[in-house]
A and B are shown apart, each in its own frame.
Chain A
Amino acid sequence: MNPLLRIFEKLSRYRRHKFAGPALLITGLSLAGIGFSVAQAATTEIQQITTSDKASLIAEGKEIFARGCSSCHGLNAEGAGAAPSLIGVGAASVDFQVATGRMPMADMSQQAMRKEPVYNEAQVAALAAYVASLAPGPAAVTNEELAWERSGDTALGGELFRTNCAMCHNLAGQGGALTQGKYAPTVMGVEPRHIYEVMVTGPQAMPVFANTVLTHDEKLSIIKWIKHAENEPALGGAALGRVGPVTEGLLAWTLGLGLLIGIAVWLTTKAR
Chain B
Amino acid sequence: MTARERLAGGTANFIDERTGAAKWMKKTLTKVFPDHWSFMLGEIVMYSFVILLLSGTFLTFWFDPSMKEVEYEGSYEPLSGVKMSAAYASTLNISFDVRGGLLMRQVHHWAALIFMAAMVIHMMRVFFTGAFRKPRELNWIIGVALLTLGIVEGFLGYSLPDDLLSGTGIRIAEAILQAIPVVGSYLSYFLFGGAFPGEVFVQRIYAAHILLIPGIMLALITVHLMLVWYQKHTQYPGPGKTEKNVVGYPLMPVYMAKAGGFFFIVFGVTAFLGAVASINPIWIYGPYNPGQVGAGSQPDWYMGWLDGLVRLAPPIETHAFGHTISWNILIPGLIVPGIIFTLLAFYPFIEQWMTGDKREHHILDRPRNNPNRTAIGAMSLTFTLVALINGGNDLIATHFDLSINQIMWFSRIGIIALPPLAFVITKRICLSLQRADRELVLHGRETGRLVMLPHGEFIEVHEPLSPEKAYLLSHHEQNPPLALNSEDAQGVANPQGLKGRVRSRFSRAAQEQVAKPTPKEVLELEEGHY
Interface of A toward B, CB cutoff 8 Å: 154-155, 158-159, 162-163, 166-172, 174-177, 179-181, 183-184, 225, 228-229, 232, 234-240, 242-246, 248-253, 255-257, 259-261, 263-265, 267-268
Interface of B toward A, CB cutoff 8 Å: 35-37, 39-41, 44, 77-82, 95-96, 102, 106, 109-110, 113-114, 117-118, 121, 164-165, 258, 261-262, 265-266, 269-270, 273-281, 283-286, 289, 291-302, 304, 392-395, 397-398, 401-406
Which chain B positions have C-beta within 8 A of A267? Answer: 37, 40, 258, 261-262
> Are A246 and B78 in contact, with the CB atoms below 8 A?
no
| B445 vs chain A, min Cβ distance (A) | 22
Besides A181-B402, A257-B117, A264-B37, 8 new A-B residue pairs in contact (Cβ under 8 A), listed by A number: A155-B82, A171-B297, A177-B296, A180-B405, A235-B283, A242-B281, A243-B296, A260-B269
Closest 10 CB pairs of A and B: A176-B295, A249-B301, A171-B294, A236-B278, A181-B403, A252-B113, A177-B394, A264-B40, A177-B397, A264-B37
Known contacts A162-B286, A166-B293, A257-B121; decide if A246 and B277 are in contact (CB<8 Å). no
Which chain A positions have C-beta within 8 A of B395? Answer: 177, 243, 246
> Are B41 and A246 in contact, with the CB atoms below 8 A?
no
> Are A245 and B293 in contact, with the CB atoms below 8 A?
no
> Are B296 and A170 in contact, with the CB atoms below 8 A?
yes
> Are A242 and B292 in contact, with the CB atoms below 8 A?
no
Which chain A positions have C-beta within 8 A of B405? Answer: 179-181
| B95 vs chain A, min Cβ distance (A) | 8
Which chain A positions have C-beta within 8 A of B296? Answer: 170, 174, 176-177, 243-244, 246
Complex CA distance for A261 and B304, rounded to whole angstroms: 23
Closest to A178 in B: B404
Closest to A269 in B: B37
Which chain B positions have C-beta within 8 A of A257? Answer: 44, 114, 117-118, 121
> Are A260 and B265 in contact, with the CB atoms below 8 A?
yes
What are 28 of the A-B contact pairs (CB < 8 Å)?
A: A155-B78, A158-B79, A167-B293, A171-B286, A171-B297, A172-B285, A175-B295, A175-B398, A176-B394, A181-B402, A181-B405, A232-B78, A235-B102, A235-B278, A236-B95, A236-B278, A238-B277, A240-B278, A242-B281, A245-B165, A249-B300, A249-B301, A256-B113, A256-B273, A257-B118, A257-B121, A263-B269, A267-B37
Which chain B positions have C-beta within 8 A of A238? Answer: 276-278
Which chain A positions have C-beta within 8 A of B106? Answer: 236-237
Closest to B121 in A: A257
Q: Which of A172, A181, A243, A259 interacts with B269 by CB under 8 Å? A: A259
Which chain B positions have C-beta within 8 A of A159? Answer: 82, 286
Q: Which of B82, B95, B284, B302 interacts with A229 by CB under 8 Å? A: B284
> Are B37 and A237 in contact, with the CB atoms below 8 A?
no
| B147 vs chain A, min Cβ distance (A) | 16
A181, A249, A261, A265 pick with most chain B CB within 10 angstroms = A249
| A242 vs chain B, min Cβ distance (A) | 7
Q: Which of B102, B114, B295 interacts with A177 by CB under 8 Å? A: B295
Which chain B positions have C-beta within 8 A of A263? Answer: 262, 265, 269
Closest to A248 in B: B279
Known contacts A163-B291, A235-B281, A243-B296; decide if A248 and B304 are in contact (CB<8 Å). no
> Are B79 and A244 in contact, with the CB atoms below 8 A?
no
Q: Which of A228, A253, A256, A268 interacts with B36 by CB under 8 Å? A: A268
Known contacts A170-B296, A179-B405, A239-B278; decide if A256 and B110 are in contact (CB<8 Å). yes
| B111 vs chain A, min Cβ distance (A) | 9
Complex CA distance for A238 and B106, rounded to whole angstroms: 12
Which chain B positions have C-beta within 8 A of A268? Answer: 35-37, 39-40, 258
> Are A171 and B397 in contact, with the CB atoms below 8 A?
no
> Are A251 and B273 in contact, with the CB atoms below 8 A?
yes
Which chain B positions have C-beta within 8 A of A246? Answer: 296, 298, 301, 304, 392, 395
| B431 vs chain A, min Cβ distance (A) | 28
Complex CA distance for A179 and B77, rounded to whole angstroms: 36
Which chain B positions have C-beta within 8 A of A250? Answer: 301
Complex CA distance for A265 and B36, rounded to whole angstroms: 8
| B76 vs chain A, min Cβ distance (A) | 9
Complex CA distance for A174 and B295, rounded to whole angstroms: 9
Closest to B391 in A: A246
| A189 vs chain B, min Cβ distance (A) | 16
> Are B292 and A163 in contact, with the CB atoms below 8 A?
yes
A159, A242, A245, A249 pick with most chain B CB within 10 angstroms = A245
> Are A176 and B41 in contact, with the CB atoms below 8 A?
no
> Are B114 and A166 in contact, with the CB atoms below 8 A?
no
Known contacts A176-B394, A229-B284, A260-B44; decide if A167 and B294 are in contact (CB<8 Å). yes
| B36 vs chain A, min Cβ distance (A) | 6
Which chain A positions have C-beta within 8 A of B41? Answer: 261, 264
Which chain A positions have C-beta within 8 A of B262? Answer: 263-264, 267
B164, B261, B275, B295 pick with most chain A CB within 10 angstroms = B295
Closest to A174 in B: B296
Complex CA distance for A136 and B258, rounded to whole angstroms: 77
Closest to B109 in A: A248
